Structure 1
């Protein structure tokens, strides 16, 4: 249980770190004197750092273990996060966010590998539940940031406080992050490269479609409701909360649903629900249907990333470090590409068309999940280790 608790705390810390600085972007924008366009380019540093860091993180975990990756990346984040609040210029902010994204990716891959160890130890499909705590950590971080901003606490002091809280939690529980190593691990780590594994590319298609839809829904849900459904900006902001809460709560049910339906049927069913929600939201010109659509999208997309990662981690003969790093890197490209792609489509047409495109992208996931199931079955027939 201590290992499970430690991994849960790592997920919550990751979500909290990300949300704590992200929700204070308006103040950081004023601090560095950046307009929306220039600031947007600087913020791409985080996504780029995550995309660049995932594969190296998997290799680091394979060599040194998940516990080392989690502890080292978290300690470096404790130092780096307050520095974001001191950035004097856009250029410095962009560099800091690039490093931040790289470290977040290392922490993310490490904690997912630690979660896989817990899943194996307990023989329970807990990956969606762990990811629920990332969502709850993000909610806590955003609420804390709102309170800090409302109290007039400078960004640097707020982020320093976040780092101190994280350091205390990690100091208590970080050593319990599991770092299981099966016999023959070194040989397994040197096996077939992830890039030569078709099933990992198909699972990558699942997570890149999911990540694109999640990033688009997070960044553009309010704009859709304001421009296409005529609601106020204050009311439109609720859409993100609906999406996030639906995702977090759905993930808490992940173990029960995966036991009942299996991972592939869960992926197919959940992504179908998400696609349906987006289609209905676009086609029915009622504001309340928009909120319902984002809720269904959040509930369905909730399972795509954690279940696909779990399948990737269990697809090889080793501990899954390189597989999880490889698929995570593909997922981060979706998060990075989704919002700007949505903006471009909306500029050329409108937000209804752009979310219609997102719905079509999500509709690819069921077919990809079926393909992954077929490839996994063939691999098991060809090799006893899958």
Structure 2
């Protein structure tokens, strides 16, 4: 007797949504507990930032070889192995006694993250083409819901004084069972006909991908900084209870999820350019509120606006990169992910050194110049759409939902 969900019988987009959700639940579980790990190991902001560089190093190594790995290992196997492995690395990390031990543990976390980022975004893009409707933003909405769930569980565990290694053990069991139930019978969507896989190994980003990366920088920085430092920001500036501090992470993920859930239909009505302008303006308002917040309420509002502002930017960029025809989709996605994740995973830890020297508010203020840069990089989406006939998909979505 076979037990579990037969993913082959589920609608293709549901498989993708569950993929994003379970992955984010695993990935996000450590961020609400970073403050606890910092206190447990007696680390300053700079030392914690140094440890978090392990995420970036492992992810960059993994992304450099993701295209080659996908030629020999199926997406199903990567999902079934990498998501539980990611959760397991957090259990090991919870036993670290200093920043270097934590750094080494997080390198292995990053190895799993790199492969998963390419696999799930590629599967979302291929499923878009297969069913003829846009799902990238909604897929990332489920990713945000996974982060939101991780935030709720983490804030609850922290408020109940549950040790982080027991918290991570529970998450590992949950994600392992979830992966086995959902993806044991998973069938990947076929590749787009205009994307071949004749190139191998690491490929530098093309000019078009570089401009798309510039568009994503501010969102990736604030999303990463919010994940790494929002709870510590609340704790150090306003001395609130543990669960209230956790609301900074939770509200950011929740507002991001809500916006992403409705973003696909919004893009259909307003177009990518208008949605991008609204997103960047909202992101800027959030960054200003966080930087100059006089009290906890205004700071939480700022994190909520920042979450909403980041919602559409990266999904739009991933869709634009995947649909370019100059190189295989796996190569373009890996190139975009590599540069964007330098900001998401590398810049926020480096902000720890700035926070220790100048204060954590100043660290968030550094996002404002990048927000301005993103505003002037919106044209990269238009160029990508023109080059790759993106409008063919845009015109046919959500109407059948």
- When the two structures are superposed, what TM-score results if normalisation uses the length of structure 2? 0.79
- The 1-side partners of 2:336 and 2:38 are apart by 32
Q: CA deviation at 1:273?
A: 2.3
Q: CA deviation at 1:98?
A: 0.5
Pick aligned residue for 2:93 from 80, 84, 93: 84
Judging by fraction of residues, say which structure has more helix: 1
- When the two structures are superposed, what TM-score results if normalisation uses the length of structure 1? 0.82
Residue in 1 aligned with 2:218? Answer: 209
User: Secondary structure of 2:378's partner?
Assistant: helix
Q: CA deviation at 1:58?
A: 3.5
Residue in 2 aligned with 1:181? Answer: 191
Distance 1:239 1:198, change over 3 A: same
* Partners of 1:67 and 1:110 within 8 A in 2: no
Structure 1 residue 273 corresponds to structure 2 residue 293: no
- The 2-side partners of 1:162 and 1:308 are apart by 30
User: Secondary structure of 1:233's partner?
Assistant: coil
Residue in 1 aligned with 2:260? Answer: 251
User: Secondary structure of 1:23's partner?
Assistant: helix
Q: CA deviation at 1:45?
A: 0.9
- The 2-side partners of 1:284 and 1:83 are apart by 36
Distance 1:371 1:82, change over 3 A: closer
Superimposed CA distance per residue, residues 126-174 of structure 1 (whole angstroms, 9 cap, x where no aligned partner): 1121112122212222333444455665544443332222222211221
Distance 1:344 1:225, change over 3 A: same
- The 2-side partners of 1:92 and 1:347 are apart by 21
- The 1-side partners of 2:37 and 2:304 are apart by 30
- The 2-side partners of 1:19 and 1:196 are apart by 28
Which is further off, 62-71 or 243-252?
62-71
Structure 1 residue 162 corresponds to structure 2 residue 186: no
Ranges in structure 2 where 5+ consecutive residues have no aligned partner? 1-9, 390-401
Aligned residues: 376
- The 2-side partners of 1:53 and 1:191 are apart by 14
Pick aligned residue for 2:31 from 22, 44, 59: 22
Superimposed CA distance per residue, residues 305-358 of structure 1 (whole angstroms, 9 cap, x where no aligned partner): 111111111112676112111111111110234334544555665555544431
* Partners of 1:272 and 1:363 within 8 A in 2: no
Structure 1 residue 242 corresponds to structure 2 residue 268: no
Residue in 2 aligned with 1:95? Answer: 104
* Partners of 1:57 and 1:325 within 8 A in 2: yes
Paired residues for 1:262-301 under 5 Å: 262-279=271-288, 282=291, 288-301=297-310
Q: CA deviation at 1:266?
A: 2.2
Distance 1:325 1:192, change over 3 A: closer
- The 2-side partners of 1:60 and 1:167 are apart by 22
Superimposed CA distance per residue, residues 11-33 of structure 1 (whole angstroms, 9 cap, x where no aligned partner): 112221123233334555577x4
Q: CA deviation at 1:6?
A: 2.2
Distance 1:290 1:35, change over 3 A: closer
Which is further off, 146-155 or 304-313?
146-155
Q: CA deviation at 1:91?
A: 4.2
Structure 1 residue 47 corresponds to structure 2 residue 56: yes
* Partners of 1:264 and 1:373 within 8 A in 2: yes
Structure 1 residue 324 corresponds to structure 2 residue 330: no
Structure 1 residue 115 corresponds to structure 2 residue 124: yes
- The 2-side partners of 1:223 and 1:25 are apart by 8
Distance 1:137 1:342, change over 3 A: same
Q: CA deviation at 1:89?
A: 6.1
Structure 1 residue 35 corresponds to structure 2 residue 33: no
- The 1-side partners of 2:345 and 2:113 are apart by 14
- The 2-side partners of 1:193 and 1:89 are apart by 33
Residue in 2 aligned with 1:384? Answer: none
Which is further off, 137-146 or 278-287?
278-287
- The 2-side partners of 1:202 and 1:238 are apart by 34
Distance 1:237 1:16, change over 3 A: closer
- The 2-side partners of 1:309 and 1:82 are apart by 31
Which is further off, 294-303 or 142-151?
142-151
